[in-house]
Chains A and B, each alone.
Chain A
Amino acid sequence: EAQVTQNPRYLITVTGKKLTVTCSQNMNHEYMSWYRQDPGLGLRQIYYSMNVEVTDKGDVPEGYKVSRKEKRNFPLILESPSPNQTSLYFCASSLRRGAQTSSGELFFGEGSRLTVL
């Protein structure tokens, strides 16, 4: 089954304790991205990756890191979480993305609800 898998789905942590949210897709997609969803603010992009070893900042990258060492995986790292990073996080992937190529469907993971105390 084609899917985007995130883990953990739910996490409560404390300020300053490093954590990683994993994301894996099995569709051989080139493009992967992380979004956070907050009430009234919609989906805001944190980081994205056009392909392996290529990552770029989105609109709200502060406090986050990512890596893309393999095509299927795109982990989100919070080195020192703070309460303002309490949010619902979505990983998403698409076949490819860019001005000269088909801007196709984004497939989302099930979401990871993070609470930072």
Chain B
Amino acid sequence: GENVEQHPSTLSVQEGDSAVIKCTYSDSASNYFPWYKQELGKRPQLIIDIRSNVGEKKDQRIAVTLNKTAKHFSLHITETQPEDSAVYFCAAPSGSARQLTFGSGTQLTVLP
């Protein structure tokens, strides 16, 4: 099955700085890579995703890049704000894409 590794497990940045979270996956057939954000006490929610036919996707202050050769993808958040503080999960499909395997999560803290 798919193995998704996520780093770092915790990340603290100053407000206004950028944050980068990286994930690697093992199944070369994977073609869909979402990122979920979970605020404290809330449910995970999709914030951005990318499919394997593109290398980068942006949505305002967040972007995701994908390197299929190296089998890794990254979440980039620019001009961080306190409301960006949350746990972020990457994910990749497995089991003929019937399952979605999540990384272990990154606790992002944006310091004022």
Interface residues of A (CB under 8 A from B): 33, 35, 40-45, 48, 50, 56, 58-59, 90, 97-99, 103, 105-106, 108-111
How near does chain A come to B50, taking the closest CB pair, in angstroms? 11
Chain B contact-residue range equals: 20 to 34
How near does chain B come to A108, taking the closest CB pair, in angstroms? 4
Q: Are A42 and B102 in contact (CB-based, < 8 A)?
A: yes
Closest B residue to A100 by CB, please name it: B97
Interface residues of B (CB under 8 A from A): 1, 6, 9, 31-32, 34, 36, 42-46, 49, 89, 93, 95-105
Closest B residue to A56 by CB, please name it: B98
Give 4 closest A-B pairs by Cβ, nearest first.
A108-B43, A42-B104, A43-B102, A103-B32
Cα distance, A70 to B34, chains bound together (Å): 28
Contact of A103 among B44, B45, B93, B103 (CB under 8 A): B93
In the complex, what residues of B have CB within 8 A of residue A35's CB?
A: 102
